[in-house]
Amino acid sequence: MSEAVLLIGTKKGLWIGRSDAERRQWTLDGPHFEMQGIYSVGVDTRGDRPRLFAGGTSEHWGPAVFHSDDLGQSWAEPPEGSIGFPKDAEASLERVWQIQPAPQDQPGVVYAGAQPSSLWKSTDGGVTFELVRGLWDHPHRKDWGAGFGGQAIHTVLPHPTDPDRVSVAMSTGGVYQTADGGQTWSPANHGIKAYFLPDPDPEFGQCVHKLAGHPAVPERLFAQNHHGVYRSDDGGAIWKSIADGLPSDFGFPIVVHPHEPETVYVFPLVADGNRIPTDAKCRVYRSRDAGATWEPLTKGLPDVPSYAPVLRDALCTDAGTPAGVYVGTRDGCVYASADAGDSWTEVARHLPDVLTVRAAVVG
Amino acid sequence: MPVQVKLPTVLRPFAGGAEKVAVETPGERTVGAVFATLEQQHPALRRRLTDEQGALRRHVNVYLGNDNIRDLDGLETQLPDGCELLVLPSVAGG
């Protein structure tokens, strides 16, 4: 019997939602990891049983990555810790922003993106991670900036069919890609504007907030930028704006439908200088034509004035049929759609700031 | 006599539930040496006190008597035989 799990990482702990495969009614349990900011969560559905991940940061006791093989009943980390810089890197881990299992044909491979900007690779299913030296040693690293959230790799997008290719994104650094398994990396930001720099078209330094893609169309990528929503049809070589038709080109998350490569979701905010939902309405925007046109999704979302933004990882889909879509807000609400965004129901309210959501249909 | 490291409640699960951990340092008896030895005994506890480069975490306070070790010699602080180190979280966060 299939069931669904929804991980809600907040500023003050993790909540776990559970439902059946219909995903209409949810029960919540939590908080787990009290007083830890849960900046990254993940669900690895590749193995015999799903493995959950939580990347927490305690303001006192530091960061850690935990995993659970019983759908969140218990959590573990290895005695030596799951992730940490080697001595010669002369750096200390501040936060894990992303935990991303690789595609099905790379069993055991899980990537992590962290602060300070670093990419990590696990080959033991996410129990332990090793620093990807090729990116850490990149000559650009000293010039990567720190956005308000810190200098971090917050997006890891493994290529769906080529294990040697990975895209990452960082705020005030931009998109970088490898085609040789992580040994060498090149910036891939051509066309993405950096309006906040003297040269708005630099090789790197763009503030990319999130990347997304669909496995069926490997060369098409989507990016939500710090102003700018973009699509690349050539694997990231050139980016073109798809922001026409949106009420604003500012926002943090961007997500692709699990079964429809042309269907994309964003959550527009007014502007860099006014980071609240456009028209003070909690609306997810959906495009069904890869960004040519957009529609607001409102049914079941609050119809009262709403001023809570959605952060970069607080919008996700599951791989169910029909597709589930989930959005969590900074005022602690989580809404779920079991029909690809056509209608929404409230899963949670009055939680701490929602930092990240991930969901899966398992079993 | 080993150094006794007294833990706040929240850290005791990382030391098998113990309120105090006895640490016998092999060489000179400093706070840093105590933490290095903790790495062998309770690595998950050590990670919560210091980062991977060995620096005391910013919002962790360690007291020798009434003195914060930051006001002494930090991790180089020499410890008397059989003393107690008190670990306390600082008042931090929102």
Contact between chains at A60 and B93 (C-beta distance less than 8 A): yes
Residue B14 has pLDDT above 80, yes or no: yes
| Tokens (6 digits) for A3 | 């069931």
Please, what is the average pLDDT of chain A?
96
Instruction: Give the pLDDT confidence score for residue A126 in this predicted structure.
Output: 98
Residue A134 has pLDDT above 70, yes or no: yes
| Residue B76 falls in which region: left (phi positive, over 0), alpha (psi -120 to 50) or beta | alpha
Instruction: Give the pLDDT confidence score for residue A150 in this predicted structure.
Output: 78
The nearest CA of chain A is from the CA of B60 a distance in Å of 6
Q: Which residue reads 């527009």 in tokens? A: A268
Cα–Cα distance measured from residue A262 to residue B7, given in angstroms and rounded to the nearest whole number: 54
Would you call B57 an interface residue with chain A, using a CB distance cutoff of 8 Å? Answer: yes
Mutate which of A12, A32, A61 to test chain B, going by most B C-beta atoms within 10 A? A61
List the domains of chain B with CATH numbers.
3-89 (3.10.20.30)
**Within a 13 Å sphere around the CA of B9, how many CA atoms are in the beta-carbon half?**
0
Cα–Cα distance measured from residue A360 to residue A316, given in angstroms and rounded to the nearest whole number: 10
Contact between chains at A59 and B52 (C-beta distance less than 8 A): no
Cα–Cα distance measured from residue A178 to residue A156, given in angstroms and rounded to the nearest whole number: 11
Contact between chains at A87 and B53 (C-beta distance less than 8 A): yes
Q: What is the pLDDT of residues A186-241, one digit of tens each?
A: 999 999 998 888 888 899 999 999 999 999 999 999 999 999 999 999 999 999 99
Cα separation values, A110 from A9, A207, B26, Å: 19, 25, 39
The predicted model gives A141-170 an average pLDDT of: 91
Instruction: Give the pLDDT confidence score for residue B93 in this predicted structure.
Output: 64
The predicted model gives A105-129 an average pLDDT of: 97
3-state SS track over B12-27: HHHHCCCCEEEECCCC
Cα–Cα distance measured from residue A157 to residue A179, given in angstroms and rounded to the nearest whole number: 13
Q: Which residues are within 8 A (CB) of B89 and not within 5 positions of it... i.e. 6 or more apart?
A: A60, A61, B8, B10, B59, B60, B61
Tell me whether the omega of the peptide bond preceding residue A322 falls within 30 degrees of 0, making it cis. yes
Using a CB-CB distance cutoff of 8 angstroms, which residues of chain B are in contact with residue A85?
Answer: 52-53
| Residue-by-residue DSSP string for B4-62 | EEE--GGGGGGGTT-SEEEE--SSS-BHHHHHHHHHHH-HHHHHHHB-TTSPBPTTEEE
Q: What is the pLDDT of residues B16-29, one digit of tens each?
A: 999 999 999 988 99
**Nearest-by-Cβ selection for B44 from A79, A86, A91:** A79
Contact between chains at B55 and A81 (C-beta distance less than 8 A): no
Instruction: Give the pLDDT confidence score for residue A199 in this predicted structure.
Output: 86
Say which range, A105-119, A139-153, A172-186, B67-81, has the weakest mean pLDDT.
Answer: A139-153
**Nearest-by-Cβ selection for B52 from A61, A77, A85:** A85
Instruction: Give the pLDDT confidence score for residue A172 in this predicted structure.
Output: 84
Using a CB-CB distance cutoff of 8 angstroms, which residues of chain B are in contact with residue A64?
Answer: 47
Contact between chains at B52 and A87 (C-beta distance less than 8 A): yes
| Tokens (6 digits) for A118 | 């670093």
Instruction: Give the pLDDT confidence score for residue A171 in this predicted structure.
Output: 83
| Residue B82 falls in which region: left (phi positive, over 0), alpha (psi -120 to 50) or beta | left
**Nearest-by-Cβ selection for B47 from A60, A62, A91:** A62
Using a CB-CB distance cutoff of 8 angstroms, which residues of chain A are in contact with residue B43?
Answer: 79-81
Cα–Cα distance measured from residue A314 to residue A298, given in angstroms and rounded to the nearest whole number: 17
Element (H, E) at A135: helix A133-136
Contact between chains at B48 and A62 (C-beta distance less than 8 A): yes
Residues B33 and B25 sit within 8 Å (Cβ to Cβ): yes
Q: How far apart are the first and last CA of chain A?
A: 6
Contact between chains at B48 and A79 (C-beta distance less than 8 A): no
Residues found in chain A:
363
Residues A184 and A197 sit within 8 Å (Cβ to Cβ): no
